[in-house]
Chain A
Amino acid sequence: MIHYLGQLSPEVIRVYAAALEHRRSFGEPPSADVVRRLAREEGASEGAALVLCRWEALSEHGTAISLAVADRWRVIVHDRETLLAILATERLPRATLRLFDGRGVPNRMIRTYAEGWAEAVR
């Protein structure tokens, strides 16, 4: 079995650790704004950090939205690490995933796109 947690960058894992520490201290996970700020400070993928810490991702308008809800908002995948984070959680998003160029990423293709990211975005 592939464990995708080990394939995530140390930067995004550090953000995840900070989010766990936050939840331990305050009883709830950090807000999306805090997660994004932590990601920027660490130089981590904001999309991947949101997935790991809050099961959210960035919409086409740049706002954080839940991956658990299927609605008209589309989640834009800006980098491979966001897909790896989704795979690491072993959860399937209900929100519609799209690459930054508008192509859809069906759930059954998440692994394929993550493993062949360079070819997929060429």
Chain B
Amino acid sequence: MNLSDPIMKSAHHVALGEWAPCYTASEYEDEMLSIAKREARAGESPAAAFARLCEERDQRIEALFLAARKADHDARHDRERDERPTVERLSVRAKLMADMLAKAKRSRRTGETEEQAFTRLLDSDPAMQNLYKQHLGR
């Protein structure tokens, strides 16, 4: 394995659990394909060369594959962490809207639709106005 190549050096250490990935999963996977293309034998397609290298347990391919999986896992973990506050925020807003709708339903006057009651309360009821401000995140 040529460890003077930065991506191979990274893959080697990531596969051993020594380093965190510093390339994306796609970059590690692209490097696997590049190796297969470079090392395809006469009459052998890159896909067949890739299959041969996997079967031969080529250390570079195994390291790159494991590094790609680790990078993929880390990226997914980061995405989930970033998305969690958004989900929590949205669920708070949904709860506030549900509270406002329930209040409008309870306060509905004869002949008044829920929408009309909602609007009336927004114009006249301080508690409803406060809920609406919270809903807007103000």
Give the A-B contact count at a CB cut-off of 8 A: 56
Q: Quick one: given A3-B66, A5-B62, A90-B69, are A17 and B33 in contact (CB under 8 Å)?
A: yes
Bound-complex Cα distance A8 to B69 (A)? 16
Is B26's CB under 8 angstroms from A23's CB? Answer: yes
Q: Which residues, 41 to 98 on B, are CB-close (under 8 Å) to A?
A: 46-48, 50-52, 54-57, 61-62, 65-66, 69, 73
A21 to B36, CA, bound (A): 11
A10 and B55 within 8 A (CB) = yes
Query: Across the interface, do A14 and B55 meet the contact criterion of CB distance under 8 Å?
Result: no
Tell yes or no: A13 within 8 A of B by CB: yes
A17 x B55 contact (CB < 8 A): no
Point out the residues of chain B lying under 8 angstroms from A99, CB to CB.
none
Q: How large is the interface on B (under 10, 10 to 19, 20 to 34, 35 or more residues)?
A: 20 to 34
A5-B30 in contact (CB<8A) = no
Chain B interface main SS type: helix
For the residues of A in contact with B, the DSSP-based class is helix
| B-contact bits for A89-105, CB 8 A (1 contact / 0 none) | 11100000000000000
> Chain A CB within 10 Å — which of B36, B47, B48 has the most?
B47
Residues of B within 8 A of A21 (CB): 33, 46-47
Using a CB–CB cutoff of 8 Å, the interface residues on chain B facing chain A are: 26, 29-30, 32-33, 36, 46-48, 50-52, 54-57, 61-62, 65-66, 69, 73
A residues in contact (CB < 8 Å) with B: 3, 5-6, 8, 10-11, 13-14, 16-18, 20-21, 23-24, 88-91
